[in-house]
Amino acid sequence: MDVSSCLRGPSWMVGSKRMRMASNFRWLLSTLILLYLMKQVNSQKKGTPRDFKCKTQNLQVWNCSWKAPPGHDGVYKVCIENRPHSCYQSEKGNVKIPRLPPGDHEITINLSRGLGSSMSKFLLNEKNVYFTPETPEILTLSADFPTSTLHLKWNDKGSVYPHHSDVIWEIKILHKENTEIIKLITHNTTLTGKDTVHHWSWTSDLPLECATHYVGIRCYIDDRHFSGHKQWRSSDSQTKVFPQDKVIPVGSDITFCCVTQEKVLLAQIGQTNCPLIHLDGENVAIKIRNISVSANSGTNVVFTTDDNMFGTVIFAGYPPDIPQKLNCETYDLKEVICTWNPGRSTALVGPRNTSYTLFESFSGKYVRYKRAEVPTNESYQLFFQMLPDQEIYNFTLSALNPLGQSESTILVNITEKVHPHTPTSIKVKDINSTAVILTWHLPGNFAKIKLLCQVEIIKTDLVRELRNVTVKGVENSSYLIAVDKLKPYTRYTFRIRCSSDTFWKWSKWSNEKQYLTTEAIPSKGPDTWREWSSDGKNLIIYWKPLPIHEANGKILSYNVSCSSDEETQSLSEIPDPQHRAEIQLDKNDYIISVVAKNSAGSSPPSKIASMEIPNDDLKIEQAIGMGNGILLTWNYDPNMTCDYVIKWCNSSRSEPCLMDWKKVPSNSSETVIESDQFRPGVRYNFFLYGCKNQGYQLLRSIIGYIEELAPIVAPNFTVEDTSADSILVKWEDIPVEELRGFLRGYLFYFEKGERDTSKMRGLESGRSDIKVKNITDVSQKTLRIADLQGKTSYHLVLRAYTDGGMGPEKSMFVVTKENSVGLIIAILIPVAVAVLVGVVTSVLCYRKREWIKETFYPDIPNPENCKALQFQKSVCEGNSGLKTLEMNPCTPNNVEVLEARSIVPKIEDTEIISPIAEHPEDHLEAEPENHVVVSYCPPVIEEEIPNPGVDEAGGTSQVIYIDVQSMYQPQAKPEEEQENEPVGGAGYKPQMHLPVTSAVEDLAAEDDLDKTAGYRPQADVNTWHLVSPDSPRSTDSNSEIVSFGSPCSINSRQFLIPPRDEDSPKSNGGGWSFTNFFQNKPND
């Protein structure tokens, strides 16, 4: 540590105390000065801090600085000697310390540098501190261009300074910044310890639009408590855009200007760019017309330069609307509350929001509305303390905002505008079983008025009653009334609201308070009935519980007594849940008395006679209810002196049955019986008793339903008898419980149908094949269905119905028996017809036998007379393959030649004129179809032989064969068939040639051969063999040459009739045919 730094020396700023000490220490002073000078020299050499000085802006904090030795960076530790916690550290050459009390203070500055350090000491006194106030803050500078007036508003920042001080403000107006001062004034104010806004206005001789005006302000604070140097603080206006933060009406026009030395590139309001209006220099302006309403935070106006941005905010809104619905009233006659609706929103909030003042003109007092940001259109309210002995108030509500003001007035007599608070602390206390006392608390001083209160009384059964009560107002807020005419043992709910007796508004209803009134004796005896037991020995007494309004409390027990002229029997203390007692009595007349008891006492007795007067003329009637009850009527009987009683029970219950009873005055002739126990579809028995001379007589017995329903089961039915045309059906009754109504009839459906087919089809579809029988006689239990068909299945369905609807179905399938007579007739009639036809045919045949014989069976010539047909038996028998007919030399007695053309199907064997001589052999071979060879057999045998073909022997014999095929085959044969012809036609051809009809079918088909063969002898041709002359042909299907045997074997003459219809080969079948029977040659 430097020794010299430890020495205390005087500061250059202030004298040392020691210098002012005794003169006898002068020598010592000289020594110290010398040492000080040496220290200074050493400090200069070693780089210690110097020029320590302090200044302040707010008198609270001193900002002390010193000159640091050049090139000596380090950390300074500044300590104030003899003060705790007064060391400060700094890396720079200044430090802020709190204000020190007047007097000298030793300051030590220690500079730490690497491994070394140096220390300096200074004396500090408040007198050496320079006080320069904070820069004055210009809040707004506005110009009133029409009047060329500048308005300056600034904040004195009085809260910063600890003492009340005088302030001198110096304001200057310049045309060119910092050069041309055109106005300089001073303005004196006082600092009050809090921020105060000051105003100053200046009217320019020159119109403000013509030039740029600058305003500068500085202040001098003469703080008497501060002994240091006081200096001026100047501040020029920094605002660049005008006007600043102005509030203007919506729809107005406004001009903004930007005063700048830089070139303005862009001006915009909100997000809209505006054209620039160039003013002096770089100054520009923009003009906004018809400005629209601003948002809460205002409308931003921004001027943009190359590297900066200047702006202002404009607030476009509305002047305050006239306060609407202004109303003043009081809750407690202590305070007036005035409410109003602000009307149209001003769109101005915060400091620009509308302020309200409520002024009372008689008293001259007013209250101001404290700004609260409430949502628009919500009611505002102000409280005004009432003045003693003043009832009439004349209120004026003024609304003010930067754009204007409005007001609304109201004159009220406050005693007529009482809107009490909600009554609280409701209490109930009973007076007796029918009256209570209600007390409540109503805050307020209503001693000068009467209160109209309303008591709402709600009984247990939710019956609501309102009672108005007028009470005198009191100061202590406690009120009391009596409420009477209540029912005993009834739970009431009370609540209260109040108003003034002149009535303005009801208060809100108080909370509800429930209270149960005390008990009273039952007002009536219980409703009583009696029944004799089934054995007739005991009398059962029934009574009903008393309704709450008659019980007047909780019924604890009942007393029952039966008294006659001779005796009295009693049953006491029957507990409440029991409403029935049984007493053994003889048949004497008794008067039964029943009494109900609660904690307050016993009810009057309820009496009933035990005697029952017989009635011989009693009929059972039916009645239908109305869904919820049943109406019973009877004729008025003047003999019934006391009352009527209707009792009822479920008909399915055993006797004595009693569900309930009802007593009806004796002057009534009808009643509606209703009960929660009634159920639809259940049969009930009702008994009407008339009370006569203290005895009851059963007048009517009625069965009925509250509501009829459809049966729930179908009648159980069976088939008793079945015949061929009828069915007898029998069914059973439906039980009453399942009938559920009065039976009105049955519906019987029947139709033909099998079980599997008809059971799925509905019967209600109105089908015509369903027959329906409606049986309305409910006593009928059988039904015979007639006119049915025999041996037929029928579907039977039976269902019952009531007035409540149709019951379910029950179905059955029945098959009728067979009708034997009809069957017999059906057999006999065809047989008889057949016999008759046979007889007639036989007679006709017999009478026409000659014709028939001639037609169908002419006499056949004896072939033995023909020598030409003499076969050598051995040959015929021995060689079946030999088909050549050897002609014996016989002289023909007649020769007929029939010429058949292939294209002319018709043959006229009677007109054969062509002799065989005209047909040479070769010609036959060439045109075989044109040759018709007719067999010759004396005396005359004309045989039509189909397709004679080429016969080798034909050329040499005199026999001519008739081509039968050509007769009946009008179509020319196919060529392929013609090609076969020469083969088939080889050799001998007898009178017939079987294959000729197979014009279409395959010639090789054996069956076809059978079918197409014309002539069929009486025997099966397939069995024929050429074993005898009687075997006329050989039908070897495999043989290419089909030949017949000797024509001598033919002992009948018959055409072989080819099929007329080629498509019906059956009709062309060989053998016997009915058609053949009637066909013959016309010339025969």
Partner 1 sequence: ALQADSSISPLPHLEAKIRQTHSLARLLTKYAEQLLQEYVQHQGDPFGLPGFSPPRLPVAGLSAPAPGHAGLPLPERLRLDAAALDALAPLLDVVRRRQAELNPRAPRLLRHLEDAARQARALGAAVEAVLAALGAEPGGPRPEPAAVAAAASAAAAGVFSAKVLGLRVCGLYGEWVSRAEADLGPLVPGGPT
User: What residues make contact with partner 1 under the rule CB under 8 A?
Assistant: 57-58, 61, 88, 96, 134, 137-139, 155, 157, 160, 238-239, 241, 244-245, 268, 270-271, 294-302, 307-309, 311-313, 349-351, 373, 375
Question: Which residue matches tokens 């009596």?
Answer: 482
Q: How far is the CB of 256 from partner 1 (least distance, A)?
A: 11
Q: How far is the CB of 141 from partner 1 (least distance, A)?
A: 10
Q: How far is the CB of 147 from partner 1 (least distance, A)?
A: 23
Q: Give the residue with the Cβ less far from partner 1, 302 or 436.
A: 302
- The DSSP letter of residue 952 is T
- The DSSP letter of residue 897 is B
In the chain, the largest separation of any two C-alpha atoms, in whole Å, equals 224
Q: Give the residue with the Cβ less far from partner 1, 258 or 452.
A: 258
Assess contact for 285 and 258: CB atoms under 8 A. yes
Q: How far is the CB of 146 from partner 1 (least distance, A)?
A: 23
Q: Give the residue with the Cβ less far from partner 1, 350 or 735.
A: 350
Q: How far is the CB of 20 from partner 1 (least distance, A)?
A: 36
Q: How far is the CB of 149 from partner 1 (least distance, A)?
A: 20
Token pair for residue 61? 């904090």
Q: Give the separation between CA 457 and CA 198, rounded to whole angstroms.
A: 66
Token pair for residue 916? 């065989």
Count of alpha carbons within 13 angstroms of residue 535, beta-carbon side: 7
Q: Rounded to 5 degrees, what are φ and ψ at 655? A: -80, 150
With H, G, I as helix, E, B as strand and everything else as coil, classify residue 388.
coil
Assess contact for 90 and 99: CB atoms under 8 A. no
Q: Give the separation between CA 130 and CA 233, rounded to whole angstroms.
A: 12
Q: Give the residue with the Cβ less far from partner 1, 307 or 1063.
A: 307
Any idea how long the chain is?
Answer: 1084
Q: Give the residue with the Cβ less far from partner 1, 63 or 439.
A: 63
Assess contact for 674 and 629: CB atoms under 8 A. yes
Assess contact for 1007 and 976: CB atoms under 8 A. no
Q: How far is the CB of 51 from partner 1 (least distance, A)?
A: 23
Q: Give the separation between CA 233 and CA 57, rounded to whole angstroms.
A: 9
Q: Give the residue with the Cβ less far from partner 1, 258 or 664.
A: 258
343: left (phi over 0), alpha (psi -120 to 50) or beta: left
Q: Give the separation between CA 159 and CA 191, rounded to whole angstroms.
A: 8
Q: How far is the CB of 44 from partner 1 (least distance, A)?
A: 31
**Cβ neighbourhood burial of 59 (10 Å; 0-12, 13-18, 19+):** buried
Q: Give the residue with the Cβ less far from partner 1, 269 or 868.
A: 269
Q: How far is the CB of 306 from partner 1 (least distance, A)?
A: 11
Q: How far is the CB of 425 from partner 1 (least distance, A)?
A: 38
Q: Give the separation between CA 52 and CA 123, rounded to whole angstroms.
A: 9
Assess contact for 85 and 123: CB atoms under 8 A. no
Q: Give the residue with the Cβ less far from partner 1, 401 or 561.
A: 401
Q: How far is the CB of 80 from partner 1 (least distance, A)?
A: 16
Q: How far is the CB of 74 from partner 1 (least distance, A)?
A: 16
Q: How far is the CB of 55 from partner 1 (least distance, A)?
A: 13
Q: Give the residue with the Cβ less far from partner 1, 313 or 474.
A: 313
Token pair for residue 883? 């088909």
Q: Give the residue with the Cβ less far from partner 1, 192 or 879.
A: 192
Q: How far is the CB of 170 from partner 1 (least distance, A)?
A: 20
Question: Which residue matches tokens 């005895």?
Answer: 695
Give the DSSP H or E segment for 467: strand 464-472
Q: Collect all residues with Cβ–Cβ distance below 8 Å to 85 and sequence separation of at least 6.
A: none
Distances 174 to 304, 357, 862 between C-alpha atoms, Å:
25, 41, 180
Assess contact for 824 and 739: CB atoms under 8 A. no
Q: Rounded to 5 degrees, what are φ and ψ at 208? A: -65, -30
Assess contact for 224 and 191: CB atoms under 8 A. no
Q: Give the separation between CA 750 and CA 752, rounded to whole angstroms.
A: 7
Q: How far is the CB of 300 from partner 1 (least distance, A)?
A: 5
Q: Give the residue with the Cβ less far from partner 1, 376 or 971.
A: 376
Assess contact for 136 and 161: CB atoms under 8 A. no
Closest by alpha carbon to 677, among 621, 629, 633?
A: 629
Q: Collect all residues with Cβ–Cβ distance below 8 Å to 422 and sequence separation of at least 6.
A: 497, 507, 508, 509, 510
Q: Give the residue with the Cβ less far from partner 1, 160 or 471.
A: 160
Q: Give the residue with the Cβ less far from partner 1, 141 or 574.
A: 141
Q: Give the separation between CA 902 and CA 970, rounded to whole angstroms.
A: 7
Q: Give the residue with the Cβ less far from partner 1, 268 or 1073.
A: 268
Q: How far is the CB of 249 from partner 1 (least distance, A)?
A: 18
Closest by alpha carbon to 440, among 454, 451, 452, 427?
A: 427
Q: How far is the CB of 269 from partner 1 (least distance, A)?
A: 9
Q: Within a 10 A sphere around the Cβ of 464, how many other Cβ atoms?
A: 9
Q: Collect all residues with Cβ–Cβ distance below 8 Å to 425 and sequence separation of at least 6.
A: 439, 440, 441
Q: Give the residue with the Cβ less far from partner 1, 268 or 327.
A: 268
Q: Rounded to 5 degrees, what are φ and ψ at 830? A: -65, -35
Q: Within a 10 A sphere around the Cβ of 427, how many other Cβ atoms?
A: 14
Q: Give the residue with the Cβ less far from partner 1, 375 or 575.
A: 375
Q: Give the residue with the Cβ less far from partner 1, 294 or 517.
A: 294
